[in-house]
Amino acid sequence: MSAPHSSPAPIHLAVALDGAGWHPAAWREPQARPRDLLTAGYWADLVTEAERGLLDFVTFEDALGLQSSHFAEPDERTDQVRGRLDAVLIAARVAPLTHHIGLVPTVVTTHTEPFHTSKAVATLDYVSAGRAGLRVQVSARQHEAAHFGRRTFPRLRIEDLDAPEVREVTAELFEEAADYVEVVRRLWDSWEDDAEIRDAATGRFVDRDKLHYIDFEGRHFSVKGPSITPRPPQGQPVVSALAHRSVPFHLVAGAADIGYVTPHDATHAGAIVDEIRAAQAAAGRAEDLVHVFGDLVVFLDDDPAAAARLARLDGLAGYAYTSDAKVFTGTPVQLADLLLQWQRAGLSGFRLRPGVLGHDLRAITRGLVPELQRRGAFRRAYEADTLRGLLGLPRPANRYAAAV
Q: By percentage, how much of the chain surpasses pLDDT 70?
A: 98
User: Residue 397's CB: how many other CB atoms inside 10 A?
Assistant: 12
321 and 23 Cβ atoms separated by less than 8 Å: yes
| CA atoms of 25 and 21, how far apart (whole Å) | 8
51 and 100 Cβ atoms separated by less than 8 Å: yes
Q: Is the pLDDT of residue 243 over 60?
A: yes
| CA atoms of 102 and 13, how far apart (whole Å) | 11
| CA atoms of 264 and 242, how far apart (whole Å) | 15
25 and 73 Cβ atoms separated by less than 8 Å: no
Q: Is the pLDDT of residue 225 over 80?
A: yes
127 and 95 Cβ atoms separated by less than 8 Å: yes
Q: pLDDT band at residue 33, thresholds of 50, 70 and 90?
A: very high
Q: Strand, helix or coil at 241?
A: strand
User: Which pTM value belongs to this model?
Assistant: 0.95
Give residue limits of the domains in the chain.
12-189+235-390
56 and 14 Cβ atoms separated by less than 8 Å: yes
CATH 3.90.1150.10 fits 12-189+235-390, yes or no: no
248: closest CA among 173, 325, 165?
A: 173
| CA atoms of 235 and 364, how far apart (whole Å) | 31
317 and 25 Cβ atoms separated by less than 8 Å: yes
Give residue 318's region: left, alpha or beta (phi > 0; psi -120 to 50): left
Say which amino acid occupies 54: L
Q: What pLDDT score was predicted for residue 7?
A: 63
190 and 230 Cβ atoms separated by less than 8 Å: no
Residue list, annotated binding site: 62, 106
Residue list, annotated binding site for FMN: 62, 106
